[in-house]
Chain A
Amino acid sequence: MSEHVAPLIVVLPLATAYSILLFCPKYWRYAQRASLICTGLLVVLTCILAMQVNVRGSVIYHFGNWSPPWGIEFLIDRISAFFLVMVSAISFVVILFANGLLYKEIKERVLGQYYALFLILLASLLGIASSNDLFNVFVFLEISSVSAAALVAVNGNKLALEASVKYLVLSTLGSGSLLLAIANIYMVTGYLNLTFIAEALPQAYALYPLNVLATLGLFVVGLTVKSALYPMHIWLPDAHGSAPTSSSAVLSALVVKVYIIVFLKLIFRVFTLEFVSQVPLQFVLLLMSALAILLGSLLAIRQTDIKKMLAYSTVAQIGYIFMGVGLLTYNGLLGAVLHILNHAIMKAMLFLSAGLLIKLTGKRDIRSLAGVGRIYPLPMIAFSLGSLAMVGIPPLNGFISKWYLSLGALEAGLPIYVLVILVSSFLNGLYYLPIVISAFFGQSTEPTYKPLPIPIGASIALICLCIATIFFGLFSGIPTQYLDPALENWFQL
């Protein structure tokens, strides 16, 4: 039984999603419970997988017993297992939150379908992280972009629809270039399985250097469009800013990250460090990520809509992660992978608390949040904790990833990027802290009123995320030690 856990993590959410569509599209309360149970089970299953990986090394599963290169293979290494646990835990928390609030945000008619879409997106994210077959990854990528665009548009309001069209068109452009890259790599190596491609690539490069370089370029373009690295970020603020709260949280925290996981697999397992350091990829990635960090933060300062501001902050944070990858050093990459986790926790918390405040006060404008912290302490405390973690105040988790990124920059001999991190921390403080200060100490212009009750699920979700923020700040050794063997293997230390 235990060897079938790997496919089960994709099958379970898909089966639940289609059962919801079949049996209870109208009775959304059942859909709520079903998705909560499903994500809860997923957390357990992914934890079991992570333990298996920890004890016995990478978990490999061949579908229908067809061994690769013919069959499709799931290969879950430490990085994927880490990501799988993160995805299922965050989506469990988001579903918990959504159960308390979502029925006030979107039409009752589509609630059941919303949960089904959410689970389909979840299945595709888990599939992308675990699959070892490039074409399989491509199909999961397309499922994820369609369901993510649908999760943005689900509200049916004008802004969300427009953002969704923009998102869909640009992400199709990204997947087009990915498919072209896959075609190229299949042409020169004859394989679609990542392990086999990695073996055949040196010989293929000797014969067709131009094709291999073009493939690398197309992969970089496709994956950076989909994960919204700076010049290709234009779809992100609209989509993440106009979606319902739980969608924005999961889009910002998880969906943009999964493409980075694919990128890591390609760069370090397929193309290998040796090859990548010969081509000018490092320069391009570092330049784009430095621009993303600085301009994303500057654009966030200009926003007055709180969710738009958080979305621009995501653009900056994606810059951090790509910078860690681009440094091509052990500590830099460790910082990047840790930041994937830490940013997921922080951004989920920020989006959820901001969405809750918007729902409770009816206002989206940053300036109108003065004095809110005294009326609704819990969401504002969560927001403040997230802000402080974003700035990188030491006992919180944001500090840890920035610390490793800075170490990585020094290791790579590029101290200028430490400066970029410092400046951007300052900029983060510039747009997060005024909200916090005015929410707790500012004078509200409106007369005091009786606060609305906060849904119990939403409170529990926010408290869980607050605890996670502090926990991963204090005990950063847990993820670091778990990831260490995989990274050492990539860098051949």
Chain B
Amino acid sequence: MFDFVRLADNAFYGMAIILFLTGFWIMLSHANLIKKIIGMNIMESAIFLFFVAIGYIKGGSAPILGREGVTYINPLPSALILTGIVVSVSVTAFALALVVKLYQHYGTVNVDEITQIRRGEA
């Protein structure tokens, strides 16, 4: 018998996998560079969700010490992912800046059209 309770308990991981695949698919299938970058961000968010979910305990709270009878969650993954988010924001900003530059040169953000323009020039 399939264990639905266990699946529900691990809903975060399932969601992370669905988001990861969605982002990955957007990154691969869309020719629009902005959409590719959005896909990249969705994929990264999925990984962040996965990472934070490792430290989460149902009903747990932030580890502010000195309280009785409270379960603490593991704060380390959350702290790490804060760094991860900063990294991902800077990568996104840089990628968007590059796309703006590309648009100034080609007048489009579509990869297929850019390839066609380049073939026409060559």
Is B one of A's binding partners?
yes
Q: Which residues of B from 50 to 103 have beta carbons under 8 Å from A?
A: 50-51, 54, 77, 80, 83-84, 87, 90-91, 94-95, 98-99, 101-102
Chain B contacts of A153 at CB under 8 A? 98, 101
| Contact assessment for B95 and A169 in the assembled complex, using a CB-CB cutoff below 8 Å | yes
With A146-B90, A158-B106 already in contact, the answer to whether A168 and B95 are too (CB < 8 A) is yes
With A179-B51, A183-B54 already in contact, the answer to whether A168 and B98 are too (CB < 8 A) is yes
Chain A contacts of B31 at CB under 8 A? none
Q: Which residues of B from 15 to 55 have beta carbons under 8 Å from A?
A: 20, 24, 27, 33, 36-37, 40, 43-44, 47, 50-51, 54
Is A71 in the interface zone, CB < 8 Å from B?
no
Q: Which residues of A from 160 to 208 have beta carbons under 8 Å from B?
A: 161-162, 164-165, 168-169, 172-173, 176, 179-180, 183, 186-187
Separation in Å of the A231 CB from the closest CB of chain B?
A: 14
Chain A contacts of B77 at CB under 8 A? 183, 186
Q: Which residues of A from 131 to 181 have beta carbons under 8 Å from B?
A: 135, 138-139, 142, 145-146, 149-150, 153, 156, 158, 161-162, 164-165, 168-169, 172-173, 176, 179-180
Chain A contacts of B40 at CB under 8 A? 169, 172-173, 176
| Contact assessment for A162 and B102 in the assembled complex, using a CB-CB cutoff below 8 Å | yes
Which of these, B43, B51, B99, contacts A165 with CB under 8 Å?
A: B99
- Cα–Cα distance between A135 and B87 once the two chains are bound (Å): 12
- Cα–Cα distance between A142 and B33 once the two chains are bound (Å): 20
| Contact assessment for A169 and B87 in the assembled complex, using a CB-CB cutoff below 8 Å | no
Chain A contacts of B114 at CB under 8 A? 162
Is B105 in the interface zone, CB < 8 Å from A?
yes
Tally of contacts, chain A with chain B, CB under 8 A: 70
Which of these, A135, A150, A165, A176, contacts B83 with CB under 8 Å?
A: A135
| Contact assessment for B51 and A142 in the assembled complex, using a CB-CB cutoff below 8 Å | no
- Cα–Cα distance between A172 and B40 once the two chains are bound (Å): 8
- Cα–Cα distance between A375 and B37 once the two chains are bound (Å): 48
- Cα–Cα distance between A158 and B121 once the two chains are bound (Å): 12
Chain B contacts of A165 at CB under 8 A? 33, 95, 98-99, 102
Separation in Å of the A184 CB from the closest CB of chain B?
A: 9
The chain B residue sitting closest to A172, CB to CB, is B40
| Contact assessment for B84 and A146 in the assembled complex, using a CB-CB cutoff below 8 Å | no
Separation in Å of the A124 CB from the closest CB of chain B?
A: 12
- Cα–Cα distance between A173 and B95 once the two chains are bound (Å): 13
- Cα–Cα distance between A145 and B101 once the two chains are bound (Å): 19
Separation in Å of the B50 CB from the closest CB of chain A?
A: 5
Which of these, A139, A164, A173, contacts B27 with CB under 8 Å?
A: A173
| Contact assessment for A187 and B54 in the assembled complex, using a CB-CB cutoff below 8 Å | yes
Apart from A165-B33, A183-B47, A186-B51: 4 A-B pairs, beta carbons within 8 A: A142-B87, A146-B94, A165-B98, A183-B50
Q: What are 23 residue pairs bridging A and B, where the CB atoms are less than 8 Å apart in the complex? A: A135-B80, A145-B91, A146-B90, A146-B91, A150-B94, A156-B101, A158-B102, A158-B105, A161-B98, A161-B105, A168-B94, A168-B95, A169-B27, A169-B37, A172-B91, A172-B95, A173-B27, A176-B44, A180-B20, A180-B47, A183-B47, A183-B77, A187-B54
Closest 3 CB pairs of A and B: A183-B51, A142-B87, A158-B105
Residues of A within 8 A of B (CB): 135, 138-139, 142, 145-146, 149-150, 153, 156, 158, 161-162, 164-165, 168-169, 172-173, 176, 179-180, 183, 186-187
